Amino acid sequence: MVKDFRHFQFEFARHLRQPHLFPKPEGVSPQSVEIYQRARFARVKEVLALVFVRSHTVLGNQAWSDLVEHFYWHWPTHGTRQNHLPYEFVSFLSEYPASEETPAWFANFVRFEWMQWRVSAMDAQIPSFNPTGDLMRNRVVLNPAREDASFDWPVHGIEKESDPIEPSRTVLWVLRTLDDSLSVVPSDLFQVQLISLLKTGMTGEQALAAMAAWLNHTTPQTLLAEGAELLNALRQSQVILGTAVE
C-alpha cells in the first residue's frame, strides 16, 4: 500500500513538472491536475519573489512573470523547496539565452542576488578575535559570513535595466558585517588568493611572502609593505575581523 502510494506520488509529481512528457496517473481528473498545478506554480513564484526582489524590479513585472513561467515549464528539476529552488533558477538562467526581455548581464545579476541571499541567511558563528591585533605577525581571523565570486559584468553597479554597462571581469565579496548589515566589497584575484592562504592559518606576513614567491615578485619587500596596507583595508571592510586570540 505504502509503496503504491509513493509510486503514485512520484508519477503525479513527474506529470506536474513535465505534463508534455509524462501522462497523469490513472484516476486523477484534469480538474485536480489544474488545481495542483496552479498551487505549485504559485509556490514557485512566491519563493523566487522572496529571494530575487531586485532582479524582479530591474526586469519589470511582465518580463519577470514570463521568465518565471518559462522556467516553470521548461526546467524539469526545479521542485518547490525554498533552499533548492533559487539554485535551480540560477542554473536555468546560465543556459537561457539573453533576449530583449532578459539583458546579457541578467543571469550574472540573478546569481549575484542569490549570493547575497545566501550570505544573509548563513548560520555563521563569529569566533573570538582581537580587533586591533597586528595582522602581519599574527594569525588572521576572517569573517565567516562571507562569499566571493567572479562575474562577467559589474553587477554591483546595476540599479535598473536601462543602465548602460559594458562587460567587465568583476570579483566581489559579499559579507555580513558585525552589525548584521549586508556589504559588497570589490576584490580581485590577488586578494582572493591571499585570503585563501590566510584561511590555512598563516600570518599576514607569511601569506604575503608566499604570494611574492608565487608571483616571482622582483621586490618582495615592496609587496609586503603594500600588502600590510591591504590587510588593514580588508579589516576596515570586515573581510578580516582581526587576529586570533591565542
What are the residue ranges spanned by the domains of the chain?
A: 1-102, 124-246
Q: Is the pLDDT of residue 81 over 50?
A: yes
∠ CA 241-244-246 to the nearest 5 degrees? 160
Three-state SS annotation for 132-162: CCCCCCCEEEECCCEEEEEECCCHHHCCCCC
Confidence of residue 43 (pLDDT cuts 50, 70, 90): confident
- What are the E-state strand segments in the chain? 129-130, 140-142, 146-151, 170-176, 182-187, 240-244
Q: Which pLDDT belongs to residue 210?
A: 96
The per-residue pLDDT for 31 is: 62
CB 34 within 8 A of CB 41: no
| DSSP symbol at 124 | -
CATH class of the domain whose range is 124-246: alpha beta
Record the pTM.
Answer: 0.83
Question: Is it the case that residue 162 has pLDDT exceeding 50?
Answer: yes
pLDDT at 102: 84
**Is the distance from CB of 124 to CB of 145 less than 8 angstroms?**
yes
More confident residue, 57 or 4: 57
pLDDT of residue 1: 45
Q: Which of 176, 189, 192, 185 is nearest to 144 (CA)?
A: 176
State the Cα torsion 58-60-64-66 to the nearest 10°: -150
